[in-house]
Copies of this chain bind each other. A is one copy, B any other.
Amino acid sequence: MGSYGETRAGIWRYHAAMTETRDSFAALDHADPLQRFRAEFDLPPGVIYLDGNSLGALPHRTRERLRAVVDREWGEGLIRSWGDADWIGMPQRTGDKIARLIGAHPGEVVVTDSTSVDLFKALSLALQVDPARRLVVSDRNNFPTDLYVAESLIAHLGARHELALVDSGEAALEAFLASRGSEVAVVMNTHVNFTTARMYDMARATAAIHRVGAVALWDLSHSAGALPLDLAACDVDFAVGCGYKYLNGGPGAPAYLYVAKRFHHLRQPIAGWMGHASPFDFSGQYRAATGISRYLSGTPPVISMAALESSVDLMLEAPMAEMRRKSIALCDAFIALVEAKCPRLEVITPREGAVRGSHVSLRHPRSQDVMNALIARGVIGDCRPPDLLRFGFAPLYVRYIDVWDAVEALVQVV
């Protein structure tokens, strides 16, 4: 059905989405090979949830897992659960599971801290690779936090580096690298842009970065869990990502940090006991653990991390290629229906599924009013300044009829 969806999307895009019906969308759901996954989520009745790109929905099994962690492991097991329930191994174990989602090798991913702190760590590592290089390069439309972290790290290190902002896209990046590549320490970009949903060609951009002797740092927050990633094949150096968006790890879930094995000798800035080779020796001397564990700092947030692990376990049951096909089909259908039925809304997301993440952004001068009216009708998306409406299509639980119904609501509202 996935490819069927794509073909139909092509038809919708250029012809009459008006001839489609809710029944034809229901038929797509009926044929959806991912159909069973929706029942895995605890979605409130009467709600069409198109904001899984901001906060993923709650899987039933994650709710059950949290009860077990709280009641049994914390309440009954108490301190013994560090060993008996293997809390101590959770950051690496969950990291290895996320590694399977993003095409990393085992031992290259660890779950820890927030995305901001992980980015601070990853950038600190990246700047050690060639201390003579002074430039941190980023897309000027990168997620703002990523730019804040880079600027504050540069200030913290005494302003010996400089943040250089370039226009979006591979071509602009390559042009910059062609002129100033030898000065570049690291190129730091978000793989899928948080507003436009435009996706970088990770292989092409990483290769261009490597050609000038720099390292590549990718923020996977708006991609992982919605589309296939292959960090190993792209030879990515560093990456970070968020646990609470498509990974469904729950509000404020911990983030993850990927460091390619070849960089596991680098020193991290926030050495805490969890990154020590023998944390329970309580030695006065810091001796960094080998491998990815050395990038841990403080005690892992067990309850939040258990939610993330459980939700990732669920996602690992779904074939990623099917998820991608469905995600493209859902977005294609949404774009086609919006263009046919709401011509005054401008679609700012790429039409081509191959260069798009799993959300769609529309421009409307009163975006906040429109979104409030949609939410009042049970359709939940979000707004991004100054004038964008954003709708995320998490393929595990969003249905084709949700797309249909959301556009019907949008037609009423605008």
On whether A47 and B254 interact (CB within 8 A), knowing A284-B147, A299-B114, A304-B304, the answer reads no
The answer to whether A271 and B375 have CB atoms under 8 Å apart is no
Number of A residues near B (Cβ < 8 Å) is 84
Count identical subunits in the complex. Answer: 2
The answer to whether A66 and B66 have CB atoms under 8 Å apart is yes
> Which among A44, A47, A252, A307 has the greatest number of chain B C-beta atoms within 10 A?
A252
The answer to whether B78 and A267 have CB atoms under 8 Å apart is no
- Residue among B80, B87, B116 making CB contact with A375, cutoff 8 Å: B80
- Residue among B78, B116, B280, B305 making CB contact with A51, cutoff 8 Å: B78
Closest Cβ neighbor of A280 among chain B residues: B385
* Binary interface encoding of chain A residues 396-412 relative to chain B, with 1 for a CB under 8 A from any of its CBs, else 0: 00000000000000000
* Binary interface encoding of chain A residues 285-314 relative to chain B, with 1 for a CB under 8 A from any of its CBs, else 0: 010000000000111111111010000000
* Binary interface encoding of chain A residues 191-235 relative to chain B, with 1 for a CB under 8 A from any of its CBs, else 0: 000100000000000000000000000000000000000000000
The answer to whether B145 and A269 have CB atoms under 8 Å apart is no
The answer to whether B155 and A156 have CB atoms under 8 Å apart is no
The answer to whether A380 and B78 have CB atoms under 8 Å apart is yes
A58-107 contacts to B (CB < 8 Å): 58, 63, 66-67, 70-71, 73-76, 78-82, 87
- Residue among B51, B140, B300 making CB contact with A252, cutoff 8 Å: B300
On whether A253 and B57 interact (CB within 8 A), knowing A66-B66, A116-B270, the answer reads no
Chain A residues with a Cβ under 8 A of chain B: 42, 44, 47, 49, 51, 54-55, 57-58, 63, 66-67, 70-71, 73-76, 78-82, 87, 113-117, 120, 124, 140, 143-145, 147-149, 151-153, 155-158, 194, 242, 244, 250-255, 267-274, 276, 280-284, 286, 297-305, 307, 375, 380, 382, 384-385
The answer to whether A44 and B78 have CB atoms under 8 Å apart is yes
- Residue among B114, B157, B298 making CB contact with A158, cutoff 8 Å: B157
Q: When A and B form their complex, which 10 residue pairs have the shortest distance between CB atoms, in order from nearest?
A: A114-B298, A116-B272, A152-B271, A116-B298, A251-B302, A252-B301, A145-B273, A58-B75, A148-B286, A116-B297
CB distance from A59 to the nearest CB of B (A): 10
Cross-chain pairs A/B with CB under 8 angstroms, 25 sampled: A51-B79, A55-B82, A63-B75, A66-B66, A67-B67, A87-B251, A87-B252, A114-B272, A114-B298, A114-B301, A116-B272, A117-B298, A124-B156, A148-B286, A149-B270, A149-B297, A151-B286, A152-B267, A156-B157, A156-B269, A158-B158, A250-B303, A282-B384, A282-B385, A303-B303
